[in-house]
Amino acid sequence: MYYTQIIFDPANGHTIRIMDDVYKQHRFIMFGFKNYSAQQVGRVLYRIEITDEGSLSAIVQSIVPPTYDTGFLHSGIIAATSRKHVLFAGHAEPEFNSGVTYHFRLRANTVVTREGKRIGLVDEEALRKWFEERTESIGVSHQGYDVVDEGYLRGDKNGNNIMFKIARYEGTLIIRDGKRFSAAFVGGFGHAKGFGCGLISLARA
């Protein structure tokens, strides 16, 4: 897996417009993969966040390395980029062993479907229930976590204002089924995976 960090200039006008619309974010992130076919690229996941130094950044997870050309660098949108290639026990594809504990971070599109409509969740109890009902399906259990309601992401789709409800989860999880978790790790967690949600970041506990 490749992990690319993009550091943005938050004062740049182009950056402000990109960050204000998840569809523009998506197009910007995917521009780095323009030289690949859709089959080669597979699922690309990303998350917009603030670094420890206070910079605005994107973390991009992909199975092939993206390239953000000098045009972006010269535009002032991107202040810097870095990339690392991570192997999992010597394998390019992630493999997780049952019983191993990790610290995790996840931004998720926290919605439920009621009467055919997707409803965004805002209450902490509902956000916790939503997460815990889904952990078993991806082959993990948790050892405690925090949840932060991050409000809504917006986007303009053909003149229509689309809203994505999001929340951030951080804590500790235990792998119960390595194969199921590997699939979720690569494919993403929940909905809106093309719009900055679903990327599970891990650090060995």
And the tokens for 137?
């399906």
Strands (E), 28-116: 45-50, 56-62, 78-85, 101-109, 111-114
Give percent helix, percent strand, percent coil of the chain, each to the nearest 5.
25, 40, 30
Q: Tell me the C-alpha distance between 61 and 80, whole Å.
A: 17
pLDDT of residue 89: 60
And the tokens for 154?
């917006």
pLDDT of residue 70: 58
**Residues shown for the chain:** 205
Q: 2-85 maps to which CATH number?
A: 3.30.70.1200
- Residue 67: exposure state from Cβ atoms within 10 A (0-12, 13-18, ≥19): middle
User: What end-to-end distance do the CA atoms of the chain give, in Å?
Assistant: 20
pLDDT of residue 168: 97
Q: What are the extents of the domains in the chain?
A: 2-85, 101-204
Helices (runs of H) and strands (runs of E) counted in the chain: 6, 10
pTM (predicted TM-score): 0.90
* Closest-CA residue to 48 (of 17, 13, 22): 22
8 Å CB contact between 156 and 18: no
pLDDT of residue 91: 62
2-85 and 101-204 have identical folds: yes
And the tokens for 204?
């060995």
Return the residue matching tokens 């490749």.
2
Across the chain, which has 205 residues, the per-10-residue mean pLDDT values are 90 88 94 92 94 88 86 70 79 81 96 88 95 92 95 92 95 94 93 95 92
| Architecture in CATH for domain 101-204 | 2-Layer Sandwich (3.30)
